[in-house]
Amino acid sequence: MSRSGSGEFNVISDRFLPIERTVFSEEHEMFRTNVRRFMQDFVIPNLEKWNKQCHPDRDVWLEAGKRGFLCVTTPEIYGGSGADRKYSAILIEEQQRANAAGPGFVMHSEIVAGYIERFGDDHQKEKWLPKMARGEVIGSLAMTEPRGGSDLRAISTRAVVDGDDYLINGSKTFITNGYITDLIIVAAKTDQKDGSSGLSLFLVEADRNGVSKSMPLDKVGQKAQDAAELFFDSVRVPKGNLLGNAGEGLRYLMQELAWERLMIAIRAVAGCEIALETTVDYTKSREAFGQKLLDFQNTKFKLAECKTKTQIARVYIDQCIELGAAGQLNAEAAAMAKWWCTELQNRVLDECVQLHGGYGYMLEYPVARAWTDARAQMIYGGTNEIMKEIIARSF
């Protein structure tokens, strides 16, 4: 693997693993070709800039919207493509192959737009989804709070009825797309009860009085993807901005978490594949003690172990993609995928960094950036400890 300041992986092959994939049709693969070209032309050349400024530029969103890469599963009547979720999986895989932590297209298209499509009323869908599909409005989801972490029942942000409006007070942190967001789905309590009964979701425009943002958070990795703190100081929103029914926010969130967790796992396996492939290339070209690195038994065995584990993960994830596209993916299967594949990604990347030697620790080498970017995958979307708890509930 050659060096690259922009952080992209240079070698991309679809036949590195021994079992051919059958989950995608010819039309899906044609879409993949177009997405890959978009990543090469509009994302990879800008990664270094985005990594330095800790957020992507807005023009890439408009370009993605122009090419039909935003909100692909959103119905055509609302400006999307009306495609199945396999197209979304391709977008995730190709962004990972480009070694691009940002832009946050997945959060915008699959999560925020998905909530609006499933739980919004006709007015909300007509107002927001076409603009999101065009990239004119960037969406974010504000759940996590400074003192709440993964515990949604501990949310302290409040939304109190005041005439025809709600007044929202509270703060959120680690919000993907938070710095550049235009539209925020805010999780807030609409009554004073403990537990889940009072949680509701609101559509909050980022330019409303009382909404403020921090600068992009200084993360260890995923620098090209902005994350920020959001603050809500007596933010007045009309009752028409309530998403779905009051008090049902947790139920809505739980319905979409399986797909969200699978998307993290899809990214993880793609990350294993491309890191493995590029590391094989590196070990073929790098010499030590008078021979190629790949000629050492230790190198061969390490790569063989990583390749085998990655292939096994790929078979499981492709089956989950089929289930997700059919709307049949359950919480336990998604939790298994998220836990196993994100931990595998971190183990594989650690081995790949080791095989690069000192160069593996240099950010000018893509494997180093992939390594730092991968660590967060075991945290967001629900920590992997919570994934194990979900799995254990089936006993």
Residues marked active site are found at 260
The answer to whether the beta carbons of residues 246 and 225 sit under 8 Å apart is: no
Q: 242 has which bridge partners?
A: 202
Which DSSP state fits 371?
H
Helix (H) or strand (E) holding 289: none
Distance CA 5, CA 139 (A): 29
Distance CA 160, CA 182 (A): 23
Which DSSP state fits 249?
H
- The token pair at 395 is 């006993």
Phi, psi of 118 (to 5 degrees): -85, -35
**Packing angle between helix 85-97 and helix 249-285, nearest 10 degrees?**
40
Phi/psi region, residue 237 (left: phi>0; alpha: psi -120 to 50; beta: rest), is beta
Phi, psi of 159 (to 5 degrees): -130, 115
Distance CA 316, CA 334 (A): 10
Phi, psi of 181 (to 5 degrees): -65, 150
- Going from the C-alpha of 137 to that of each of 125, 127, 218, 325, 334, the distances in angstroms are 13, 11, 24, 26, 29
- Going from the C-alpha of 382 to that of each of 75, 208, 283, 296, 390, the distances in angstroms are 28, 29, 36, 40, 10
Burial grade of 148 (CB within 10 A; 0-12, 13-18, 19 or more)? middle
Beta pairing class for 199-205 and 139-142:
unpaired
Helix (H) or strand (E) holding 383: none
Interior CA angle at 75 toward 73 and 78, to 5°? 120
**Packing angle between helix 297-325 and helix 249-285, nearest 10 degrees?**
150
Closest CA to 159 of 277, 238, 226: 238
